Amino acid sequence: MRRGMESHHKNLYHSTTPQQFDQAFAALDRDLPNLSDAQITVRLMAIGALVNDGHSRVDLDFRPGKSHVGLWLEAFSDGLFISEATSENKSLLGARVERIGSASADEALARARNLISCEPGNKGRRQSWPLSMLLADPLVLNGLGLTPSPDEAIYTVSQNGHTSTITLKPSVNGRDMHPFLKGWLSAITQRGDQPLSTPWTQNIAFAEVPSAHAVYLQFNSVYPPPGQTMDEFAASLEHFISNHNDDRLVIDLRDNGGGDNTNLRQLLIAIARSRFNHRGHLFVLIGPTTFSAAQNFTSRIETTTEAIFVGQPTGSNVNFYGDTSNFDLPNSHLTVKMSHLWWQDKDPRDNRTATFPEITIPPDTFADALAGKDATLHYALYAPAPPRLEDVIVAAAAQGHDQALAALNAYTADPHHRYTTDFTGSLEDRLNLLGYRLMQSGEAQAAVTVLQIGADTYPKSWNAFDSLGDGYEALHDKAHAIAAYRRSLELNPSNSHAQEEIKRLEQTPQAPI
C-alpha cells in the first residue's frame, strides 16, 4: 500500500510528512496479529485519510455483493436521522438514530469521520455523503468497534415516542446507495420552494419558479441528462431563458459531488453571457457536498460571473488534488485511490480552503426538511441583492472614520456574513485593496479612512500601516504618512518601501493638504 500510494499520487506528502505515514504503518504492523479483518480494513482506511485530499482513500463503497444495509443516515444540526430507505425498511423513515451498536450517535459519528479524507483545512467531506455510506456499512461499524459482527448493523432509533433496537443484514450493493437512489423512499416529501418533483434523481435539470420570476437550475452531477450532451442541455437552457421574462437564475450545487469537468465549458458560457450575469440576478447555492468537478464549476463561475454564493462552504479547497489513479492490494483486494492530478482553477496564491458563501445560511434541521423548508433556496429566490462589504464601507466613509468602522463591525457581526474574512480573501486584504482602488480613483480622503480602519482592525500588521502611509501620501499629509511608515518599520524592520518613503518625505517640503 505504501509503495502504491507513493507511485500513484501526484504529491503524496503535500500536507502529511513521510514520518507520519511511517508511524501509522509501523503501528498497524505492530498491531496486526491481534486485529480482525474488519479492524485491519478500518486501520488502512484511516491511513488513507491521512493523505489529506478528498479524493484519495481506501474505497469500500463499490465492493462486490451486498455490502450495505438499506438505510441512508444523514447528520442534521438537530441529530442523526434516517432520511431515505429501501422499501423493506420504509417503517424506519424519519426515525432518529440514538445509538449505533454500543456507542451514542455522536460517538459513532466521531469515529466514522476519522476515516474520511478531507482537503487541508476543510472538513466538509465529513459532513456529506461519504459519512452516510460508512454508517450503513456493517464491516466498517464492526471495524470501528461499534458492533460485534461485520455481517450486521445494529441501530437504536426513536420514533413517535418509542425507542427500539434493530439489527439489519446487508441488503444492497454500494452502487445502489444514495445519492443514486434507485427505487429508494424518502422521509422528505414536502417540496416547499423546490420546483422539481424529484430533484436529487437527476444529473441536471431546470424549472421556472413563477412566484420568484426565477429560473432554478438543479445541478447534482457534472454529467448531462440521459439522452443529451451537456452542450445540448446548455442550448436548451439558453433557449428557455430567451423565451421567458425571468429576473434571476438560481444554480443549486449543494448535492453535487462531482463528475466530468470536461462537460462544463458550454454551460459556463451560456450562464456567463446570459442576461442574469449581473449582481443580484445570479445566485449559486453551495455546501459541503459541493466537491471535485462541482468545485471546478464553482471556481470557474466565480471567476467569470457576478454570482452571489449562498449557503455553506464547499467541501474542497479552491485548488485541489483529484482524478484518482487506482490500484488493488494483492491480498485483501481492497481498492486504493490516489489523486494524480493537480487542479488549479484559481490563482496559485489563492490558498482558500473552500469557496465561502457571501451569504451564510445555517444548515436546515431535519424538522425543517420534513416541513419542506429550505432557507437557502428561499433566500436565493426571493431576497434582494445584498450590499457588498466594500459598498457599505465606502458609503459610511463619506461620514467619517467612526461611522465607517461602525458599519464594518455591524456588517461582520451579521450571521449572514459569517465568512466575511474568508469570502474572497482575508478582511485585511479586502480593506487594503479597497483603499488602493479609492486612491486610484482620486478619492484620497475616503482611501485614508478605509486604510485607517484596516490599521485599527489589524494593529500588528506592518502592511496595513505601510498602506496607510501610502494613503496619507496621496492626501499630501506628510506628517501622518511618516508616522504610519515608522509604525510599519517597527513591526517589520526589513520593510524597505517604508524606509525609502520616510527618507524621501523627510527631504521633501510639506505640500498643502
The cell 432518529 sits on which residue?
96
Place of cell 445494529: 154
The H or E element spanning position 322 is strand 319-328
Residues 175 and 82 in one domain: yes
Q: Is 325 among the domain residues?
A: no
Residues of the chain under the 50 pLDDT cut: 513
**CATH, residue 47:** 2.30.42.10
Residues 419 and 360 sit within 8 Å (Cβ to Cβ): yes
Tell me whether residue 114 is in a domain. Answer: yes
Kindly state whether residues 207 and 300 are assigned to the same domain.
yes
| The pLDDT value given to residue 446 | 93
**pLDDT tens figures, 216-262:** 999 999 999 999 999 999 999 999 999 999 999 999 999 999 999 99
Query: Do residues 398 and 308 both lie within one domain?
Result: no
Instruction: Supply the pLDDT for residue 225.
Output: 93
Is 16 a domain residue?
yes
* DSSP β-ladder status, 359-360 and 308-311: parallel
**Phi, psi (5° rounding) for residue 201?**
-95, 0
Q: Are residues 374 and 420 in the same domain?
A: no
Name the 3-class secondary structure at 2.
helix
pTM score over 0.85 = yes
Residue type, 268: L
196 and 175 part of one domain: no
174 and 255 both lie in a single domain: no
Output DSSP code: residue 364: P
Provide the pLDDT for residue 63.
Answer: 87
Looking at the fold, whether 211 and 62 belong to one and the same domain comes out as no
In sequence order, the 6+-apart residues with CB closer than 8 A to the CB of 211 are none
* pLDDT attached to residue 198: 74
Task: Report which of 469, 457, 475 is spatially closest to residue 499, judged by C-alpha positions.
Answer: 469
151 and 211 part of one domain: no
**CATH code of residue 296:** 3.90.226.10
Q: Specify whether 307 is located in the same domain as 255.
A: yes
Residues 6 or more apart in contact with residue 13 via CB below 8 angstroms: none
Residue from 165, 147, 178, 220 nearest 68 by CA: 178
Per the CB < 8 A criterion, the answer to whether 338 and 12 are in contact is yes
Is residue 322 in some structural domain?
no
Total domains in the fold of the chain: 3
The answer to whether residues 397 and 290 belong to one domain is: no
Which helix (H) or strand (E) segment is 100 a member of? strand 96-100
Inside any domain, residue 329: no
Helix 496-506 and helix 462-474: axis angle, to 10°? 30
Contact 206, 214 (CB under 8 A): no
**Domain end residue (candidates: 340, 374, 409):** 340
- Contacts with 152 (C-beta within 8 Å, 6 or more apart), sequence order: 138, 167, 168, 169, 170
Range of the domain at 131: 1-187+335-340
Percent over 70 (pLDDT), the chain: 98
What pLDDT score does 488 carry?
Answer: 96
